[in-house]
Amino acid sequence: MVERLLSSSPGLEIWWDSSPLVFGDWVAKVVAAAPRDGRARLQEQLSRLFVVQDAARSVFRGCTTNPSLSLAAVRSAPDYWNRRIDECIADNPGIGLEELSWRTYKAVILRSAEMLRPIWEATGGQCGFVSGQLDPRLVTDTEAMCRQGAEIAGLAPNVMVKVPASQEGMEVARRLTASGISTNVTTCFTLPQIMAAARATRQGLEIARSSGVDTSRCRSVISYFLARLVERPELLHQAERLGVEVSDADRKWFGIAVFKRAYELLREGGYPSKLLLCSFRKGPAVNGAMRFWDIEEFSGGDIILTLPPLALELLFELDGNLVFDRDAIHRRPPRTSLDKMLKLPYCFQAYEPDGLPPEEFSSHPGMVDLLTQFCKASAALETHMGQRLALPGLTV
């Protein structure tokens, strides 16, 4: 099924939206839940996605992580990670909670990068990247993010630094790119954020080349959160206040329209960044059959789809209903839906290239909500570190 999607889109890359450290556990869970007579075939299909023993043969071309997914990776193998954490405490007398958490977080990124390194090597450094996210609590601290980004990038050559789409994050993306570091500008909910990220990385590449920095293995990715844009309560509140009747299909078409417009503008402008699509929801039902427009409507695109376990499970479940048409990426959403949605200030800001000023990037409702979740995950990782530090017999 995933290979059928790939065949419709020659430039498409499929990434795993989780740590590769949890892939084996996910496969085992999905296979165990399947009907007994179909388990062997399903096992074979899923195993092709990420070939642990020969990663270069994998369908997956990279992976994205964040604090929540890194915490899940630590919790998925408590014996291994608790042993490593305890060794770090013992080897570094007096280590503090923040430093211990940071070292553990980097260890998760490094181990993931090692698993995907064969893909990076087989593709000449074009694929096989692992996105390592900056501390979400630093979203407005340019200097701290630059220092942290350089440190994360230094872990392995196939580590891509995941930078927040705040006004300060754009400067961070520019500086890191100028140093030859690959970046993934994440938490993008609007076209203004996407275009600002594209301009920043292009400027960074120009600076790098003028300075003689090797950029042959430097990639730029921009991540757009489709469902998280159109699911915000602010959208529905505005529609109710303005008397605009908005259907679920209208919202879905709008999320699709923002991405397609960004795709068109980046290609027309010759920007080096590749769009990454994430945050998927199934639907709608068409003639009694459940579809998956959040993926189907981008068939044929030279893009990245980063698929979490749930999205992959849905793709397998809905396989017979889905149509992957290589011209889909160029089809415009219904004008009636778009006109209706653009009556809402929330949607106008997301769709127009200059609809949202950079100083308001950090206060966009979708970004505030997602960064809050990431901050909670970072705090939860520190709580886990604190529990290890408190154990008797360890040097503190």
Give the predicted TM-score (pTM) of the model.
Answer: 0.95
For residues 245 and 297, give the distance between their C-alpha atoms in angstroms, rounded to a whole number. Answer: 24
Active site residue 162: yes
Which position has the higher pLDDT, 285 or 396? 285
The residue extents of the domains of the chain are 2-389
Asked if 315 and 292 count as a contact pair (C-beta separation under 8 A), the reply is yes
Pick the catalytic residue from 162, 252, 274, 340.
Answer: 162
Per-residue pLDDT tens over the stretch 26-37? 999 999 999 999
Closest of 356, 302, 293, 371 to residue 66, by C-alpha: 371
DSSP assignment string, 164-217: E-SHHHHHHHHHHHHTT--EEEEEE-SHHHHHHHHHHHHHHHHHHHHTT---TT
| DSSP assignment letter at 353 | T
Amino acid at 353: P
- Please give the pLDDT value at position 394: 54
Angle CA 227–191–137, to nearest 5: 70
Q: How many residues does the chain have?
A: 396
For residues 245 and 240, give the distance between their C-alpha atoms in angstroms, rounded to a whole number. Answer: 7
The sign one gets for the Cα dihedral 203, 209, 214, 217 is: positive
What is the average pLDDT across 56-69?
A: 91
Answer whether CATH 3.40.50.300 is correct for domain 2-389. Answer: no
Answer whether residue 48 shows pLDDT above 50.
Answer: yes
pLDDT range class, residue 396, cuts 50, 70, 90: very low
- Please give the pLDDT value at position 294: 95
What is the average pLDDT across 110-125?
A: 95
Q: What is the mean pLDDT of the chain?
A: 94
Residue 88 is encoded by which pair of tokens? Answer: 């770090």
Answer whether residue 52 shows pLDDT above 90.
Answer: no
